[in-house]
Amino acid sequence: MSNQSEAPVASLATDHAADGDVLLKVENLVKYFPVASTSLFSRRRDFVHAVEGVSLEVRRGQTLGLVGETGCGKSTLARCIMRLYDITSGKITFDGHDITKLSRGRMRPLRRDMQMIFQDPYGSLNPRRRVGSIIGDPFAIQGIADGADRKKKVQEVMELVGLNPEHYNRFPAEFSGGQRQRIGVARALAVRPKLIICDEPVSALDVSIQAQIINLLADLQQEFGLTYIFIAHDLSVVRHVSDRVAVMYLGQISESAPTRELWHHPRHPYTDALLSAVPVPNPEAADQRERIILVGDVPSPVAPPSGCRFHPRCPKAAPTCVDTEPELIARLGDGPEHLTKCHFPVEDGEDISLAKPTIGAENRVVETGILAGGDVVLPEALTAEADTKEEA
Amino acid sequence: MALLEVNDLRVSFRTPDGIVQAVRGLSFDVDTGKTLGIVGESGSGKSVSTQTIMGLVRGARVSGTALFEGQDLLTMGSRDLQRVRGAEVGMIFQDPLSSLHPYYKVGWQIGEMIRQHDKSVSKSEARKRAVDLLRLVGIPQPDRRVDDYPHQFSGGMRQRAMIAMAMALNPKLLIADEPTTALDVTVQAQVLQVMKTLQEEFGTAIIMITHDLGVIADIADEVIVMYAGAVMERAGRRAIFYENHHPYTEGLLQSLPGYGDDRERLLPIPGSPPSLINLPSGCPFHPRCPYVMDRCKTDVPELAPVGGDVTHLSACWLPHDMDARNARRKDVIGHAEPAPAEALAGAEAAGGEA
């Protein structure tokens, strides 16, 4: 699996809208990172298969939500799209231009149209520079406005995101977390981009502040017809902001669908488990629902599992899943917008917490302890008092 | 008598900028086998209060009492407190990587915890118990993983190792400070499941500190909502979600995506939390409160029963009769109930029944 040319070919997302409607198109994107060889004398290079054959489209004025757990490759994918990383193979088309192989210099004018907002409002702002100059950076880089004109533009954009324009000369440390994230939004918005990639923009914020930023992003989208790729691990946030959602697992898209469709008819067992694991702020629902508790952790992307990458943890895994990689296609009579990468998609009303994998233990993560549902006993002698120890 | 009774706990720190009043008069109790949820945003004092109770905060001015089985933890000598910590009260923190020592093997750290409290346990015996504990919390191949270092564990495994360590001496109380915040949702579900099962089996009382109201809805029996170092509302789990009284509780819920489902806009709480050095006069929430009245700006409201129910307390000048309160809700935010019926239906759909 370490050979780059052997990347499996995932089916392309069906192209329905006219091409003019699609702002960003990613085809079969692969990104490997080399890792240090474990043996000094081995000539074999290992690779982290961070993104493996991802295809997606983002339409103008829409929001594509990208969800998945730590290490599933969602941030790497975003950085590849921004061309912050060189990609291993695949094709990225942005606004009609093939940007896959553009040099840094040729990329620069296009960067005006694609901007990014980062997770950490503390780490992504230089503490020694004034806010006005941070937000003015895109103007400087793009050579758009300078002097008094730039200051005016920066203050306009500060006002737009709900910052006081008089705070132009302050340092980031003088702002709260929520305000800092507004600075990040202002910087991304300054040059009026077409696409903004939001990489966990609200994860570091308290809920009441988080709602302010989400509303701000929604208002700006309406006003300027912005297109977002919204990456988050908080599924309720993604559900709120996205028109369509793609679920990633170990570098691949396991399911993609319009938001409502995905929540009401999850087809991939991973999506189903992920959605059922989200804590809902509603005691009634929390008591009633059957949680699907997955066993184990996400496997290493250096040596991803064969066949379907989810099979070691999947409650529905069958021998086919170990041998053959499923295609990302419409299943169970779903529309062409709803694609699932699974041999045995979840039917409406099916309870996969009752399912039992039909593959051997050597191919899956085996449950132990409490999660196996067996007897729960504290290890011998732990329950005993310290002074009864002598008798033992 | 409750297992832990905290009365009028006050914690403040002297800093170059002034005195930070981190906790201002916190009272609560926890019973055996029950879970108390403490919810609040950053700086609300939720972590400082439990850390103070366990003697983990230095350089603070502390007053009040914290009676654990009748003994005051705040005045207890450090030797006695050390015995209570670990043996009687287990603790789990948010970041499992920084709470495990990177230099020692996981199994050794769990064993050391046991040996610290019971010197008669031999090293090999302690190791054997560590293996059993790791198996209990669902670590695969525990007899092999016991000799791993923390960095060889994934985030979820580390947190489960922390639970194993906290449960090693079968404590009566488990204090979990944001135990699942750093974890992915599927792993969070595993960890919460482990905690629930342990509680059912051993009757452990749990204090669950979190900012995540979803976790509270899942696990808590009783809930305390903290803001600016003080309790705003205290009630049973259902009352907090369905019959909340305090505007801050309401604001927290309203700002959640997925509560009041499929709305176009969220309803955030305007502004940001106050500085704990320079608190607003009167009710600390008044500058952000949509219901603010003149009285709120001058007089500090005390916790008082809502609708005559002594298990439901709210520190707010709004009428404590629930009908009158709901009438105000209708005037100010447009609907009379804390959570509209359709919102609940939506949240259930979000539960992901396929």
Ordered by where they begin, the domains of chain B are 4-220 (3.40.50.300), 224-350 (3.40.50.300)
Q: Which two tokens stand for residue B185?
A: 């949702």
Residue A8 has pLDDT above 50, yes or no: no
Rounded distance between C-alpha atoms, residue B348 and residue B342, angstroms: 10
Other CB atoms closer than 10 Å to residue B295's CB: what's the count? 12
Do B241 and A281 count as a contact with CB atoms less than 8 A apart? yes
Do B132 and A289 count as a contact with CB atoms less than 8 A apart? no
- pLDDT given for residue A69 in this prediction: 85
Do A281 and B216 count as a contact with CB atoms less than 8 A apart? yes
Estimate to the nearest angstrom the gap between the alpha carbon of B91 and the chain centroid: 12
Judge contact between B82 and B98, C-beta under 8 A: no
User: Is B195 in the A-facing interface, judged by CB distances under 8 Å?
Assistant: no
Rounded distance between C-alpha atoms, residue A309 and residue A8, angstroms: 12
Rounded distance between C-alpha atoms, residue B261 and residue A287, angstroms: 19
- pLDDT given for residue B291 in this prediction: 94
User: Is A277 in the B-facing interface, judged by CB distances under 8 Å?
Assistant: yes
User: Is A180 in the B-facing interface, judged by CB distances under 8 Å?
Assistant: no
- pLDDT given for residue B263 in this prediction: 57
- pLDDT given for residue B330 in this prediction: 83
Searching chain A, which residue's CA lies closest to the CA of residue B164? Answer: A378
Do A206 and B42 count as a contact with CB atoms less than 8 A apart? yes
Estimate to the nearest angstrom the gap between the alpha carbon of A107 and the chain centroid: 24
What are the E-state strand segments in B48-108?
60-68, 71-72, 89-92
Residue A176 pLDDT grade (very low, low, confident, very high; cuts 50, 70, 90) = confident
Q: Which of A370, A388, A391 is best to mutate for the B interface (most B CBs within 10 A)?
A: A370
Q: Please state the rounded mean pLDDT for residues A268-278.
A: 92
CA distance B304 to chain A (A): 24
Mean pLDDT of chain B: 87
User: Is B322 in the A-facing interface, judged by CB distances under 8 Å?
Assistant: no
Searching chain A, which residue's CA lies closest to the CA of residue B129? Answer: A379
Other CB atoms closer than 10 Å to residue B310's CB: what's the count? 8
Q: How far is CA A140 from each of CA A108, A114, A121, A135, rounded to the nearest angstrom?
A: 12, 16, 22, 10
- pLDDT given for residue A251 in this prediction: 93
Searching chain A, which residue's CA lies closest to the CA of residue B263? Answer: A240
Do A376 and B197 count as a contact with CB atoms less than 8 A apart? yes
Q: How far is CA B213 from each of CA A109, B174, B217, rounded to the nearest angstrom?
A: 44, 19, 6
Q: Please state the rounded mean pLDDT for residues A319-339.
A: 93
- pLDDT given for residue A273 in this prediction: 92
CA distance B109 to chain A (A): 16
User: Is B67 in the A-facing interface, judged by CB distances under 8 Å?
Assistant: no
Residue A63 pLDDT grade (very low, low, confident, very high; cuts 50, 70, 90) = very high
Q: Please state the rounded mean pLDDT for residues A222-251.
A: 93
Do B193 and A284 count as a contact with CB atoms less than 8 A apart? no
Tell me the residues of chain A between 34 and 93 that have a Cβ less than 8 Å away from chain B.
69-70
Do A266 and B255 count as a contact with CB atoms less than 8 A apart? no
User: Is A20 in the B-facing interface, judged by CB distances under 8 Å?
Assistant: no
CA distance A289 to chain B (A): 7
First to last CA, chain A: 54
Do A70 and B132 count as a contact with CB atoms less than 8 A apart? no
Estimate to the nearest angstrom the gap between the alpha carbon of A73 and the chain centroid: 7
Tell me the residues of chain B between 175 and 194 that have a Cβ less than 8 Å away from chain A.
184-190, 193-194
Residue A13 has pLDDT above 50, yes or no: no
Global pTM reads 0.85
- Local confidence pLDDT in tens for the 354 residues of chain B: 799 999 999 999 998 888 999 999 999 999 999 999 999 988 899 989 999 999 888 889 999 999 999 999 999 988 899 889 888 999 988 776 678 888 999 999 999 888 988 888 899 999 998 998 888 887 878 888 999 999 888 877 888 888 889 888 889 999 999 888 877 888 888 888 888 988 998 899 999 999 899 999 999 999 999 999 999 999 999 999 999 999 999 999 988 887 655 557 888 898 888 888 989 999 999 999 999 999 999 999 999 999 889 999 999 999 999 889 988 888 887 665 655 444 444 444 444 333
Judge contact between B32 and B170, C-beta under 8 A: no
Mean pLDDT of chain A: 84
Sheet of A63-67: strands edge to edge? A114-117, A195-199, A227-231, A63-67, A244-249, A252-258, A339-341, A328-329
Instruction: Specify burial of residue A286 (Cβ count, 10 A radius: 0-12, 13-18, 19+).
Output: buried
Cβ-Cβ contacts under 8 Å, A366 against chain B = 140
Estimate to the nearest angstrom the gap between the alpha carbon of B12 and the chain centroid: 20
Identity of the residue numbered B166: A
- pLDDT given for residue B261 in this prediction: 53
- pLDDT given for residue B338 in this prediction: 59
pLDDT above 70: percentage of residues in chain A = 86
B138 vs A273, A284, A369: nearest CB: A369
- pLDDT given for residue A392 in this prediction: 36
Q: Please state the rounded mean pLDDT for residues A296-320.
A: 89
Searching chain A, which residue's CA lies closest to the CA of residue B170? Answer: A383
How, if at all, do strands A46-59 and B222-227 pair? unpaired
Judge contact between A4 and A30, C-beta under 8 A: yes
Judge contact between B223 and B212, C-beta under 8 A: no
- pLDDT given for residue B347 in this prediction: 44
Rounded distance between C-alpha atoms, residue B123 and residue B127, angstroms: 6
- pLDDT given for residue A116 in this prediction: 92
| CATH class for the region spanning A4-113+193-297 | alpha beta
Searching chain B, which residue's CA lies closest to the CA of residue A217? Answer: B265
- pLDDT given for residue A233 in this prediction: 83
Higher pLDDT, B333 or A256: A256
User: Is A349 in the B-facing interface, judged by CB distances under 8 Å?
Assistant: yes
Judge contact between A281 and B240, C-beta under 8 A: no
Q: Which two tokens stand for residue B294?
A: 């003149």
pLDDT, one tens digit per residue, over A29-55 is 999 998 866 666 666 678 889 999 999
Q: Which has the closest alpha carbon to B132: A387, A368, A392? A: A368
Do A264 and B349 count as a contact with CB atoms less than 8 A apart? yes
Searching chain A, which residue's CA lies closest to the CA of residue B193? Answer: A371
Q: Which has the closest alpha carbon to B301: B326, B288, B319? A: B319
- DSSP assignments along A292-307, one per residue: ----S-PPPTTSPPSS
Q: Which has the closest alpha carbon to A292: A346, A247, A353, A348? A: A353
